[in-house]
Amino acid sequence: KAGVTQTPRYLIKTRGQQVTLSCSPISGHRSVSWYQQTPGQGLQFLFEYFSETQRNKGNFPGRFSGRQFSNSRSEMNVSTLELGDSALYLCASSLVGLSGYTFGSGTRLTVV
Amino acid sequence: AQTVTQSQPEMSVQEAETVTLSCTYDTSESNYYLFWYKQPPSRQMILVIRQEAYKQQNATENRFSVNFQKAAKSFSLKISDSQLGDTAMYFCAFMPLLTGANSKLTFGKGITLSVRP
């Protein structure tokens, strides 16, 4: 079966712009989580969605937001981009009630 | 809050040999899961092995096994018969067990493992 699909793979944006990243979970998975990975901070949890509702949120500013659609696909949005937002953004999906997540290959965002 | 510590930033091992990656964690939770994920240069995080805290038996998956010491809050990964394809960054991760829901993963900083031919 298809894995977790993230688009685009690479993105270059200018400071002050906004960006939207997309994640399609494994078919049947209703939970989608987002993580930010940087060399300095490592992997940090952004938020988790289940059935179109945000259930859990990490310690990120309000510029970071997300949503989930009825087909479980998810998007995350970052507004007013800063240089420090440059990172690999990973999406992961999971079946409810099962432990562990399946990750996508990520979107590499570079802010210049 | 949970913390996960991987104190070794890098390790190297000869092909076909055995290597152990260390991980310690801190939590006040009694029910949780522990994971080892592998991230090769392709960037995709791949689940290597999972351990439920309520299970005393150490998890094994082919060449991968863990040494789970709950009292010591230690969770090390042993890779036997190392292969070149094992070269990757390895992350230890913690997730509390919440009834009826998944929860967030807390990751360690990771360790870069290089397998030498």
> In whole angstroms, what separates CA A6 from the centre of its chain?
9
Label residue B2 by pLDDT band (50, 70, 90): confident
pLDDT tops 80 at residue B103: no
pLDDT for A18? 98
Residue type, B5: T
User: Does the beta-carbon distance from A45 to B105 stay under 8 Å?
Assistant: yes
Please tell me which of the candidates B42, B95, B107 has its beta carbon nearest to residue A43: B107
Q: What is the pLDDT of residues A25-77, one digit of tens each?
A: 999 898 999 999 999 899 999 999 998 999 889 999 999 999 999 999 999 99
Put simply, whether B99 touches A (Cβ < 8 Å) is: no
Query: Is the distance from CB of A106 to CB of B43 less than 8 angstroms?
Result: yes
As a whole number, mean pLDDT of residues A9-24 equals 98
pLDDT tops 60 at residue B101: no
As a whole number, mean pLDDT of residues B3-14 equals 95
User: Could you give phi then psi for residue A107, rounded to 5 degrees?
Assistant: -115, 125
The span from the CA of B106 to the CA of B94, in Å, is: 5
pLDDT tops 70 at residue B100: no
pLDDT over 90, % of chain A: 82
Label residue B55 by pLDDT band (50, 70, 90): confident
User: Does the beta-carbon distance from B44 to A104 stay under 8 Å?
Assistant: yes
Note the helical H segments in B1-117.
none
The span from the CA of B109 to the CA of A82, in Å, is: 23
- Calculate the average pLDDT of chain B: 92
For residue A30, what is the enclosing H or E element?
Answer: none
pLDDT for A1? 63
